[in-house]
C-alpha cells in the first residue's frame, strides 16, 4: 500500500525473500539469546508496545491473570504519547504514563517506561511483547522483537503492507518465536468445527464464502476516537509516531486527527479493508480451508463521508482461489445491515448465526433436475451446531497463546502464516481499488502482478477437457464428493457437426 505521498516502505524490510509457500512450511530455529519459558511456574515478563485503546484490553487480561496468581507480569511500557488529563474515550486510561501507573510501574523509571520501544527490546528479562500501535508500525516492531528473541502477540491487521506480512512470517519461521495475531474471533470454535465438516465432504465442493462488516454512525467511521488538547507536539513524539526515518510514513506536520484517527488515512492504515475485513476474512478462510487467493478485485468508493479521509466508506473485495472457490467480503460504514456469513457448497450451505452463541446451521441443497427459481431456498432449517463458546474471546486467545509459549507450540490460534494470507487478500483489495486493476498473487514468491486472461482461460480449458474440480486444503472425503454433475441424457446430442455429420450418430 502506498500513502498519498508515495514512498518506499521497504527501508527496513529489504527487497526479496522466501516464497509464500516456503514461509508456511519453513522450519524453525529458536533464538539462542533467550531460553523458552517452559516451566509453568516461571514468570513470563511482557512489555507493552502502544498503550492506546485496544491495548487496555490486553493490559486488563494480563493484570487479571496476575491477580489470579498466574506467573505473568508487565514489566515494560511503551507509547509515544504521554497520555493526558483529558480521557479521549469513555474516560479510559490511555497513553504512556497513565498506563504505566495502571500496571504499577514508576513513570520515572526510564528503563521500563519509554517512548522508544527499542529500549525494552534490549532487556533480557523481557520474554514477550504485545504490539497494538497503529498498523504502519506493526511489522517493524514484530520483526525487531522476534530478532531480539521475544515472543509476540500482535494486534490485527498483522501489518500495513503485503511485503511486510511476508517478512513477518519469514522472521517467525526463522526465529521460531511464538507469534499470534490478535484476531480474537479465531478463539471461536465454530470455524474449526465448520472446517472439519467441510473437509469430510458434508457440503460438497466448496464454491463461495461470504462475510461482511457493515456499520453506521452520524459522526463518520473512526471519528469517535476523540481528539484532546493534550494531544500536542509536546506530549506526542510525532517523529516516532510517523516512523519516517524507518521508511514507515512520510514526514508531515503534527495533526491530532492523523494521530488519533489514523485509520482514516492510507499512510497509517487501510480503512475498513485492513481494520475490519481482516477480522472476518481470517476466520472465514480458516473455516473454508483456503489461504492465499490467486486473483483479487477490490471495489468501492468514498460516497458519503467527505470529511478529509482517504479510505472508502463502501468497499467489497472479491478473491478467487486455485481451489476453485471465491470469497466475498463487503461493507459500508453508512448502513449496518449485514450480508451474513455463509459458506456455499454444491450439496449444502453453512449459515453462521449473527452471534457466536447462535452456532451454525448446515442446510442441504435440493439438486434434482433444473434449478429452482430465485427465492425458492430461504436457507431455513438444517442441522444446528453450537460449539461451546469462550466467555471472553480476547482472554481465550490469551490463554491459548500463553499455553503455546509454555509448550513451545508455534500453532497459535492465528499464526503469522494465516496473518500473511489475510493481509495479502485485503491489501490486494486496496491496491486493486486504488489502481483500478484486477491483481494476481504469486504463491511461490509473494509477487503481485496485474491479472490477465489466464485465470478465465484455465477454467474454460478444464471445462473443455471435462476435467475434475480442485478441492480445498485438507479435503479428506472422496476427491469427487459433492462435485460431479449428472448431465441430462439429451446432452449426448451435443458436439460439433463436421461435414454435416450428426456427432450423436457417429459410431
Ligand atoms: N482486535 C480488536 O478487536 C481490535 C480493536 C481495536 C484495535 N485493534 C488494533 O489495535 C491497534 C491499535 O488500535 P487502537 O484502537 O488501540 O489505536 P489507538 O490510537 O487508540 O492506540 C495506538 C497507540 O499507539 C501509540 N503509538 C503510535 N505510534 C507508536 C510508536 N511508534 N511507538 C509506541 N506507541 C505508538 C499511540 O500513541 C496510541 O496510544 C490497531 O492495529 C488496531 O487495528 C484491534
Together in a domain, 179 and 284: no
The CATH code of the domain that includes 278 is 3.30.360.10
**Assigned domain for 128 exists:** yes
Together in a domain, 124 and 80: yes
pLDDT for 17 equals 32
Which ligand 1 atom sits nearest the alpha carbon of residue 81? 37
Together in a domain, 139 and 213: no
Q: In what order do the strands lie in the sheet with 128-131?
A: 113-114, 72-78, 44-49, 128-131, 151-154, 179-181
**Assigned domain for 498 exists:** yes
Closest CA to 122 of 145, 141, 101: 145
Together in a domain, 272 and 368: yes
Together in a domain, 85 and 192: no
β-pairing, 179-181 vs 151-154, is parallel
Tell me 275's DSSP state: I
Which ligand 1 atom sits nearest the alpha carbon of residue 55? 16
Q: Which residues line ligand 1 (CB under 6 A)?
A: 49-55, 78-81, 94-95, 117, 132-135, 137, 155-156, 182, 184, 240-241, 243, 260, 275
In testing the pocket of ligand 1, which one of 89, 117, 119, 133 has its CB within 8 Å of the most ligand atoms? 133
From ligand 1's centre to the CA of 413, what distance in Å?
Answer: 21
**Assigned domain for 214 exists:** yes
Distance, first Cα to last Cα, the chain: 60
Cell numbers representing residue 425 in the block: 487478500
The length of the chain, given as a count of residues: 507
Domain stops at, among 360, 380, 414: 414
pLDDT for 376 equals 84
In testing the pocket of ligand 1, which one of 48, 54, 61, 137 has its CB within 8 Å of the most ligand atoms? 54
Query: Helix 416-435 vs helix 162-175: angle between axes, to the nearest 10 degrees?
Result: 170
Together in a domain, 441 and 492: yes
From ligand 1's centre to the CA of 267, what distance in Å?
Answer: 14
Together in a domain, 424 and 333: yes
From first to last of the 507 residues of the chain, give the pLDDT tens digit. Answer: 444 433 334 333 332 233 454 444 333 333 333 445 567 778 999 999 999 999 999 999 999 999 999 999 999 999 999 998 666 666 678 999 999 999 999 999 999 999 999 999 999 999 999 999 999 999 999 999 999 999 999 999 999 999 999 999 999 999 999 999 999 999 999 999 999 999 999 999 999 999 999 999 999 999 999 999 999 999 999 999 999 999 999 999 999 999 999 999 999 999 999 999 999 999 999 999 999 999 999 999 999 999 999 999 999 999 999 999 999 999 999 999 999 999 999 999 999 998 999 999 999 998 888 888 888 888 888 999 999 999 999 999 999 999 999 999 999 999 999 999 999 999 999 999 999 999 999 999 999 999 999 999 999 999 999 999 999 999 999 999 999 999 999 999 999 999 999 999 976
Domain stops at, among 381, 414, 447: 414
The CATH code of the domain that includes 142 is 3.40.50.720
Which ligand 1 atom sits nearest the alpha carbon of residue 225? 20
**Assigned domain for 246 exists:** no
Phi-psi domain of 91 (left: phi exceeds 0; alpha: psi -120 through 50; beta: other): left
Together in a domain, 176 and 290: no
Residue 321 phi, psi (nearest 5): -120, 150
Together in a domain, 271 and 284: yes
From ligand 1's centre to the CA of 178, what distance in Å?
Answer: 21
Together in a domain, 24 and 39: yes
Segments forming the whole domain that contains residue 305: 187-224+263-389+415-507
For the chain, the domain total comes to 2
**Assigned domain for 247 exists:** no
In testing the pocket of ligand 1, which one of 55, 132, 152 has its CB within 8 Å of the most ligand atoms? 132
- Measured by CA distance, the residue closest to atom 4 of ligand 1 is 54
Together in a domain, 410 and 338: no
Could you please report the per-residue DSSP string of 20-53? Answer: HHHHHH------SSS----STTSPEEEEEE--SH
Together in a domain, 382 and 339: yes
**Assigned domain for 488 exists:** yes
User: What contacts 24+ positions apart, CB below 8 Å, involve 194-197?
Assistant: 194/287, 194/343, 194/350, 194/352, 194/360, 194/385, 195/286, 195/287, 195/288, 195/289, 195/474, 197/350, 197/362, 197/385
From ligand 1's centre to the CA of 55, what distance in Å?
Answer: 7
- Measured by CA distance, the residue closest to atom 10 of ligand 1 is 132
**Assigned domain for 319 exists:** yes
**Assigned domain for 234 exists:** no
In testing the pocket of ligand 1, which one of 155, 256, 394 has its CB within 8 Å of the most ligand atoms? 155
Amino acid at each position: 500500500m502506498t500513502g498519498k505521498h508515495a514512498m518506499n516502505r521497504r527501508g527496513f524490510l529489504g527487497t526479496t525473500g522466501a516464497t509464500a509457500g516456503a514461509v508456511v512450511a519453513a522450519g524453525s530455529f529458536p533464538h539462542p539469546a533467550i531460553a523458552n519459558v517452559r516451566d509453568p511456574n516461571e514468570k513470563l515478563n511482557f512489555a507493552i508496545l502502544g498503550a492506546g485503546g485496544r491495548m487496555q484490553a490486553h493490559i486488563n487480561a494480563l493484570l487479571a491473570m496476575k491477580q489470579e496468581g498466574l506467573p505473568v507480569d508487565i514489566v515494560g511500557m511503551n507509547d509515544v504519547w504521554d497520555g493526558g488529563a483529558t480521557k479521549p474515550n469513555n474516560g479510559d486510561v490511555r497513553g504512556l504514563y497513565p498506563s504505566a501507573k495502571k500496571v504499577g510501574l514508576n513513570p520515572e523509571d526510564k528503563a521500563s517506561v519509554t517512548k522508544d520501544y527499542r529500549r525494552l527490546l534490549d532487556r533480557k528479562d523481557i520474554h514477550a511483547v504485545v504490539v497494538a500501535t497503529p498498523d504502519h508500525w506493526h511489522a517493524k516492531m514484530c520483526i525487531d522483537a522476534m530478532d531480539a528473541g521475544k515472543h509476540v502477540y500482535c494486534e490485527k491487521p498483522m501489518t500495513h503492507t503485503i511485503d511486510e506480512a511476508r517478512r513477518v512470517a519469514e522472521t517467525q519461521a526463522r526465529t521460531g518465536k511464538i507469534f499470534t495475531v490478535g484476531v480474537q474471533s479465531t478463539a471461536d470454535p465454530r470455524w474449526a468445527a465448520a472446517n472439519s465438516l467441510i473437509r469430510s465432504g458434508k457440503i460438497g465442493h466448496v464454491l463461495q464464502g461470504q462475510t461482511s462488516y457493515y456499520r453506521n454512525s452520524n459522526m463518520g467511521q473512526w471519528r469517535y476516537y476523540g481528539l484532546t488538547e493534550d494531544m500536542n507536539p509536546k506530549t506526542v513524539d510525532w517523529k516516532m509516531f510517523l516512523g519516517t526515518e524507518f521508511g514507515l510514513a512520510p514526514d508531515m506536520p503534527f495533526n491530532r486527527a492523523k494521530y488519533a484517527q489514523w485509520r482514516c488515512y492510507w499512510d497509517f492504515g487501510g480503512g475498513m479493508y485492513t481494520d475490519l475485513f481482516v477480522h472476518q476474512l481470517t476466520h472465514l478462510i480458516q473455516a473454508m480451508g483456503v489461504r492465499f487467493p490467486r486473483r483479487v478485485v477490490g471495489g468501492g468508493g468514498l460516497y458519503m463521508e467527505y470529511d478529509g479521509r482517504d479510505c472508502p466508506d463502501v468497499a467489497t473485495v472479491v478473491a478467487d482461489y486455485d481451489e476453485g472457490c471465491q470469497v466475498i467480503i463487503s461493507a459500508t460504514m453508512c448502513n449496518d445491515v449485514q450480508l451474513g456469513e455463509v459458506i456455499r457448497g454444491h450439496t449444502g450451505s453453512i449459515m453462521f448465526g449473527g452471534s457466536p452463541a447462535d452456532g451454525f446451521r448446515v442446510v442441504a441443497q435440493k439438486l434434482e433436475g433444473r434449478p429452482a427459481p430465485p427465492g425458492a431456498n430461504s436457507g431455513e432449517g438444517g442441522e444446528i451446531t453450537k460449539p461451546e463458546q469462550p466467555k471472553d474471546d480476547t482472554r481465550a486467545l490469551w490463554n491459548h497463546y500463553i499455553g503455546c509459549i509454555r509448550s513451545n507450540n508455534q500453532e497459535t490460534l492465528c499464526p503469522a502464516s494465516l496473518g500473511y494470507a489475510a493481509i495479502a487478500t485485503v491489501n490486494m483489495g486496496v491496491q486493486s481499488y486504488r489502481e483500478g486493476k484486477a491483481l494476481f498473487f504469486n504463491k511461490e514468491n509473494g509477487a503481485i502482478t496485474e491479472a490477465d486472461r489466464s485465470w478465465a482461460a484455465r477454467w474454460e480449458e478444464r471445462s473443455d477437457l471435462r476435467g475434475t474440480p480442485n478441492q480445498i486444503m485438507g479435503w479428506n472425503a472422496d476427491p469427487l464428493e459433492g462435485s460431479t454433475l449428472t448431465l441430462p441424457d439429451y446432452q449426448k446430442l451435443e458436439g460439433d457437426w463436421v461435414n454435416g455429420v450428426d456427432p450423436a450418430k457417429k459410431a
